[in-house]
Structure 1
Amino acid sequence: MDRSQLKMEANQMLSQHFGFFFTLFIPYFIMEILTNMSNRGNESFSLINGTLPPSYDGNLFLSTTIFGIVTMIFSYSATFNELDAWRNQSDFENGFSKSFNIMSSQKVFWGTIGVFIMSFIFITLWSFLLVFPAFIKACSYSQAVYIYRDAAKNGHPIGILEAITKSRQLMDGHKAEYFVLQLSFIGWWIVVGITFGIAAIYVTPYTSLTMTRYYLNLNNEA
C-alpha cells in the first residue's frame, strides 16, 4: 500500500473541508484537555501532600478511566463520520453535531466500548509474556472497531469477539505496514509537543483521516 498516497489523499480531504473536521473533533479535543487538566491536578496534589490516601487512588483510577472512555468514544465517533465522508455517504456540514452520531445507535455505541475494552484486555494479557507480542496483537486488533461498526450499519451485526477475529484476519500480512504508517507521524506529533498542543488541531484529523483511508484500502474500497 502506498503510504505517501494515503497521506496525500488525507491531506487533500482535510484541506478542502478543514472547518468540518475541526468542529467534528471539538468534543474529542475538549475531553483531551479535561483529561490533561485532571492528571496535572492530581500530580500537583501528590507533590504537595507527598503521599496519596487510599481513597484518592481509587478516585484517580475511576476518573482516569471515565475520561479515557469518553475520549475514546468521541475519537471513534469522529472516525466513523470520516468513513462516511470517504464513502460519499455524508456531507460536510454540522461537524459538531455529527460528533455525537455514535450515540444514535445503542448497538454501535456499546459495541464500540465493548470492542475497545476486550481488545485492551487481550493486549494486556499478551503483555504479560513480552512487549513485542502485545504490540503485534495491538496492530492485529486495530481494525476491529471499524469492522464492528460497518457490520452493524449494514444490517448484519456481528459479535465483539468476531470483530476482533476479523480484524486479525484482515491485518494478516499488513502489521509491519501498519506500524510504519503509524511511525511516519512521529514528526508531526513532535510538532504538536513543540506548539503545546495547538498543532493537534490539524495533526489529529490528518492522522485519523489517513488511518480510516488505510482501512478502506484494506477492504479494497479505495
Structure 2
Amino acid sequence: MEKIILDRQMYLYRAEARELLRGNWTRVYVGMALAAIFSGIMVLFFTDCVPFGKISTIGNLEVTHRHAYSNFINSVMFQLNGTSTVPSAERPVSTISIFYRIFISDIFTFGVASFMLNFTRKKDINPGYIFSGFEYYFKCFLLALVQGLLIVFWYLLLVIPGIVKTFAYSQSFYILAENPEKGVLQCITESRIRMDGNKWEYFLLNVTFIGWNILASIPLLIGIFYFEPTPGTVNEFLVVLIASLPVYIVSAYFQTTSTVFYNLLTGYTKLSDAETAKDAPADEKPGTGI
C-alpha cells in the first residue's frame, strides 16, 4: 500500500471539486438530496408523521422544542460529516425511527461514497449508487457498528482521542465502496494507516466548510423560529424538509471535496509537480491494529 502524506493549500481541494461539479451541480445535488432524505430526514418523518410507535414524551414540548431543534439540524446536515443523529430525549420517541436509524441510515454512507467515487473518477452520475449499500448490507452495518463503538470507546477515555480517531477512521466507507471484498477491520485499519500524518490536513479541510454550513442552515433556522411548528407533528417535518434544501448544495460541494481528498490520499489522482507530497515507506503492511 502506497502511503502518501498530503500537504497542500485548502483552496486547491475545493477548486478541483468545483471543476468536477461544473455542469454537474444539479445531478449531484439530486444524489445528495436523496441520500439525506433516506438517511436523515426519514428518521424525522417516522417521528413526526407516523402516529404509532411513539413510546414517550418527556418535558413540556412548548418550552423545550427550540432546544430539541438543534438535534434536527444535525440530522438534516448529516451528509456534511457522514453521520446522523438519534431524536432527542426531549421530544416524542418513535421506535420506528430508532430502528430505522440503527439498521438503515448508515447504509447510505456507503451509497454516498460509491456515488462520489463513480462521479469523480468516471463522470458516472447515477443516483442509483446511493442505494448500492444494500447489496453489501451486513458488511456496511458491521462497519458502521464497529467504527461507532471504537469511536465511543476513545471518547470515553478523553475527548481529544475521540476526535483524533474520528478522523483516523473517516475513510473507512470510501475504502469499502472501492473494495467491497475487504473486511470490516481491514477497512478501518487501512483508513487509520492512510490517515496517519493526514488527519490534520483533513481536519483543516473540514474547518473551511464551517462558514458554508452556517450559511446553509440559515433558512432552516428561519423556518424553525418563524413558524415555530410543534415538535412531533407533520408541520414540523414539512418545515425541516423544505427549509433544509440549501443544505444539500453544501453537501454536494463538501462530499465532492472530500472525495478529491480521498483520491489523492490513495494515489488515484496524482499531485502536480508544483505541489508537495511526501512518500512514506511502502513496506508498511496493514495489520489488525485499531
| Structure 1: distance between partners of 2:94 and 2:121 | 41
1:81 counterpart = 2:115: yes
Q: Tell me how far 1:169 sits from its aligned partner.
A: 0.5
Q: Is the 1:27–1:74 Cα contact (8 Å) retained in structure 2?
A: no
Segment drifting more, 24-33 vs 189-198: 24-33
Which residue is equivalent to 2:20?
13
User: Following the alignment from structure 1 to structure 2, what is the Cα–Cα distance between the partners of residues 219 and 22?
Assistant: 25
- In structure 2, stretches of 5+ residues that fail to align are 1-6, 64-90, 221-243, 270-290
Counterpart contact for 2:57–2:92, Cα < 8 Å: no
Higher helix share: 1
Alpha-carbon contact 1:28-1:71 (below 8 Å) kept: no
Q: Quick check: 1:35–1:67 contact (8 Å CA) kept in 2?
A: yes
Distance in 2 (CA, whole Å) between partners of 1:39 and 1:4 is: 40
Do structure 1's residue 118 and structure 2's residue 152 form an aligned pair?
Answer: no
Distance 2:103 2:21 in 1: 26
Identity score, percent: 25
**Higher RCO by CA contacts (8 Å cutoff, separation 6 or greater):** 2
Distance 1:188 1:68 in 2: 29
Q: Give the match for residue 63 of structure 1.
A: 97
Secondary structure of 2:186's aligned partner: helix
Measured in 1, the distance between the counterparts of 2:254 and 2:61 equals 38
Hey, what does 2:255 align to over in structure 1? 208
Instruction: Determine if contact 2:172/2:190 at 8 Å carries over to the other structure.
Output: yes
TM-score by length of structure 2 reads 0.63
Question: Structure 1: which amino acid aligns with 2:147?
Answer: S
1:29 match: 36
Do the aligned residues in 2 keep the contact of 1:112 with 1:149 (CA within 8 Å)? no
Corresponding residue for residue 176 of structure 1: 200
Partner AA of 2:116 in structure 1: E
Q: Judging changes above 3 Å, is the alpha-carbon distance between structure 1 residues 161 and 75 closer, same or farther for their aligned structure 2 residues?
A: closer
Aligned to 1:91: 124
Higher strand proportion, which one? 2
Q: Distance in 1 between matches of 2:62 and 2:245?
A: 32
Q: 1:70 to 1:136 in 2, by over 3 A?
A: same
2:160 is paired with a residue whose SS is: helix
Q: Which has the larger radius of gyration?
A: 2
Q: How far off is 1:58 after superposition?
A: 11
Residue deviations 1:84-137, cap 9 Å, x none?
12222x533xx333322333x33xx32222211111000101111101111111
- Which of these residues, 186, 189, 192, is aligned with residue 216 of structure 2? 192
Q: Flag the 1:184–1:36 CA change in 2: closer, same or farther, 3 A.
A: farther
Query: Once the 2 structures are TM-superposed, how far is the Cα of residue 158 of structure 1 from its aligned partner?
Result: 2.1
1:127 paired to 2:155: yes
- 3-state DSSP class of the match of 2:263? helix
Structure 1 residues 65, 188: CA separation in 2 closer, same or farther (over 3 Å shift)?
farther
Q: Secondary structure at the match of 1:25?
A: helix
- Assess if the C-alpha contact under 8 Å between 2:108 and 2:131 holds in 1: yes
The count of aligned residue pairs is 206
In structure 2, C-alpha distance between the alignment counterparts of 1:48 and 1:202, rounded to whole Å: 31
Deviations 1:8-30 (A, max 9, x none): 11122223211211221232232
